[in-house]
Amino acid sequence: MSLTLLAIISRIVLEDSEHLVEVEGYCFRKTSNTIHSITFFTNLNRKFGPYGINNDIPSKFKTPFHVKGGKIVGFHWRTNLDDILYAVGFYIESVETSSTQIELVDSEAKEKMISKVGNTMEVIYVGPWGYLDEGKVFDHSGYNGIKKIIIYYGMMINSIQVQYIKDGKLTWTDEVSRNGIRKEIVLEDGEHLTEVRGYYGRLFGMGSISHLTFFSNLDNVFGPYGNDGEIPLEESRPFHVKGEKIVGFHGKAGAQFLSAIGFYMALHPNE
């Protein structure tokens, strides 16, 4: 017996000079991960939506996401075998910077971050990329900037430790596994990271971030660190994030490798 789902089609038409500036919605997390509700907002104060199912889902099964700031100029997404949307992300362009690839944003994490920074800097939650079913969660939120990064790597990225700036003071994150080659990134006064390129893949069945390269506002390039291609991976996928200022990391750390990584990015750090 086959089940046929009735799809309602809605079309959004933007006027000349009108563009999207905000998207909010919910993911349904119980037996599967799907986008169950989405609403769009424009610079002309028009609202489109909500589309999908919202009120009939218990709040304990809903995870909110929220993206706001700049101009939304593109989408990226993932669907399952039934062509049902289970992940959505956005490309956001501000007046001062090039496009930034944005993954799902947890509004609660974003609001928590803004309050910790002291409402002086709007910060968005980007990513993570990698393997979310492996490792333990780490979340470096609430900081104003980055001073040092220590990376341990070999065939893959093993671990990272970060020295952050918070209210003018320096503080290190928790100790990490020190296996592999050790490299230290030290940012100069007035220098900050603006871009990260990398890959994630599987080696011997274990998922990990395999490759990382960092770029700063002073045109310094740190890396690449990780797999140099001599040992082929079972799978390899790229990721790239670029914006104004990276002020923190989040992700999942496995017993041997860094399983996933994402970023906290300040939209307008100098305002």
Question: What whole-number distance in Å separates Cα of residue 131 and Cα of residue 158?
Answer: 14
Quick one: which of 247, 267, 262, 248 has its CA closest to 69? 267
pLDDT mean across residues, the chain:
78
Quick one: which of 258, 51, 54 has its CA closest to 173? 258
Strands 206-216 and 193-203: antiparallel
Distance of CA 175 to the CA centre of its chain: 23
Are 220 and 192 in contact by the 8 Å Cβ rule? The answer is no
Residue range 208-236, pLDDT digits in tens: 999 999 999 999 999 999 987 667 777 78
Q: What is the pLDDT of residue 203?
A: 83
Are 250 and 262 in contact by the 8 Å Cβ rule? The answer is yes
Assign 194 to helix, strand or coil. Answer: strand
Most confident of 121-125, 154-158, 265-269: 154-158
Quick one: which of 245, 12, 206 has its CA closest to 126? 245
Can you list the domains of the chain with their CATH numbers?
20-93 (2.100.10.30), 122-267 (2.100.10.30)
Residue range 147-171, pLDDT digits in tens: 999 999 998 999 999 999 988 899 9
pLDDT of 96 over the 50 cut: no
